[in-house]
């Protein structure tokens, strides 16, 4: 096995602002925990320094006028006149270096794709990636450049068949937009229903158009969906479709905002359910590009992505977090000392209305999507 972990300390040069829920420090925390566990010292693991993307790569998916706008606001400032591009106060603030930040993040995801597609890696993980809301000409949902859409588009142009699986609590709308009309990319998104959560899309009826009909798969979940129903729905939908599609490469977006205590969503997944899903993904992907994503409890992000990287490398982690990490993480308000601390056990759905609704959606997908992909 050969695996690659793509990271740079340059991520720490950027900040969305003191009141913004996306804390870039979570990437450093995840890296430090992975390092403290010794997961970068394994003989088959390669630590890869991130390289910035270039604009020609970004233009595979994003419009030139939008990229021009990002360059113009890169120095910060008010950004008046850029609201048409989704830039300004709120979700997508204008901060110093926002275009540079996007180049770093997208560069890492492109490197991960190249590692798997060209350089003989089985798995590559870009924890900074997974910014799946950015549209071709507009920032959205904390995302300025859609690194997944850029990297997948580049591979699709080379003739690769890609399956993209997104487990973020928020619908991967930007990636869906990018491949809604092609059968070369299968997109599958498990997320909280758009009736209760941003971006308000990702309903089961959104199945693609033209040649892409049936290749856009959405599994919207009611609030409070927990491990039992979540993992059941995943098993019913994801493995059969991926196995039928037979992708060359599997991309995953491993957002952890579906966790019970995440402040920005209402799903009730535990780290136990997350681990089950990640283990299943490893069994589905002979070649795997893993991206980060959402997650607004920074301790959850660090622990979940360290656990995911351990699963990718067939390592079982000690429950006690390394002392060096615990000592350092206190400085940013993280006090957990256990890998699964705060999760009493695999959670169960309490709302009796959750399972019938998810069963209805699964039946819809089996009736309307499965025949197209299997065919």
37-51 per-position pLDDT tens digit: 999 999 999 999 999
pLDDT band at residue 149 under the 50/70/90 scheme: very high
Q: What is the pLDDT of residue 7?
A: 98
Query: What are the pLDDT digits (tens) for 70-87?
Result: 999 998 876 678 999 999
Catalytic site positions: 133
B/e letters for 131-146, b = 16+ CB within 10 Å, e = fewer, are bbbbbebbbbbbbbbb
H/E segment holding residue 26: helix 25-36
Query: What are the pLDDT digits (tens) for 284-313?
Result: 999 999 999 999 999 999 999 999 999 999
Q: Among 77-86, 223-232, 353-362, which stretch is predicted with the lowest mean pLDDT?
A: 77-86
Tell me which residue range forms the domain holding 211.
3-374
Cis amide linkage into residue 199, ω under 30° from 0: yes
Average pLDDT, the chain: 96
Q: Is the pLDDT of residue 347 over 90?
A: no
CATH number of the domain within which 247 lies: 3.40.800.20
Q: What is the pLDDT of residue 230?
A: 97
Q: Is the pLDDT of residue 22 over 80?
A: yes
**Total of domains in the chain:** 1
Mean pLDDT on 235-254: 98
Residue 208 neighbours by CB distance under 10 Å:
22
């Amino acid at each position: 096995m050969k695996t690659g972990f793509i990271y740079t300390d340059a991520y720490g040069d950027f900040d969305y602002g003191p009141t913004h829920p996306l804390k870039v420090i979570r990437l450093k925390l995840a890296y430090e925990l992975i390092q403290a566990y010794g997961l970068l010292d394994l003989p088959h693991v390669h630590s890869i320094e991130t390289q910035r993307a270039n604009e020609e790569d970004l233009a595979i998916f994003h419009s030139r006028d939008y990229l021009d706008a990002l360059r113009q606001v890169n120095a910060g400032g008010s950004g008046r006149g850029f609201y048409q591009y989704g830039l300004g106060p709120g979700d997508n603030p204008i901060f110093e270096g926002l275009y540079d930040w996007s180049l770093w993040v997208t560069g890492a995801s492109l490197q991960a794709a190249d590692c798997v597609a060209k350089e003989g890696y089985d798995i590559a993980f870009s924890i900074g990636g997974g910014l799946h809301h950015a549209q071709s000409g507009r920032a959205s949902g904390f995302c300025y450049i859609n690194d997944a859409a850029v990297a997948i588009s580049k591979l699709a142009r080379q003739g690769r068949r890609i399956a993209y699986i997104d487990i973020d609590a928020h619908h991967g709308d930007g990636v869906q937009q990018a491949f809604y009309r092609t059968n070369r990319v299968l997109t599958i998104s498990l997320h909280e229903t758009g009736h209760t959560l941003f971006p308000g899309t990702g309903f089961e009826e959104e199945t693609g158009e033209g040649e892409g009909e049936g290749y856009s798969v959405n599994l919207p979940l009611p609030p409070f969906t927990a491990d039992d129903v979540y993992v059941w729905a995943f098993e019913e939908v994801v493995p059969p479709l991926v196995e039928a599609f037979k992708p060359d490469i599997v991309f995953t977006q491993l957002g952890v905002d579906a966790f019970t205590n995440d402040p920005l969503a209402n799903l009730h997944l535990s780290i136990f359910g997350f681990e089950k899903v990640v283990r299943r993904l490893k069994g589905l992907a002979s070649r795997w590009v893993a991206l980060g994503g959402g997650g607004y409890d920074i301790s959850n992000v660090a622990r979940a992505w360290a656990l995911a990287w351990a699963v990718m490398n067939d390592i079982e982690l000690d429950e006690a977090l390394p002392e060096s990490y615990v000592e350092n993480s206190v400085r940013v308000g993280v006090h957990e000392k256990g890998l699964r601390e705060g999760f009493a056990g695999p959670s169960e759905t309490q709302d009796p209305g959750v399972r019938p609704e998810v069963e209805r959606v699964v039946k819809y997908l089996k009736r309307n999507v499965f025949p197209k992909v299997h065919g």
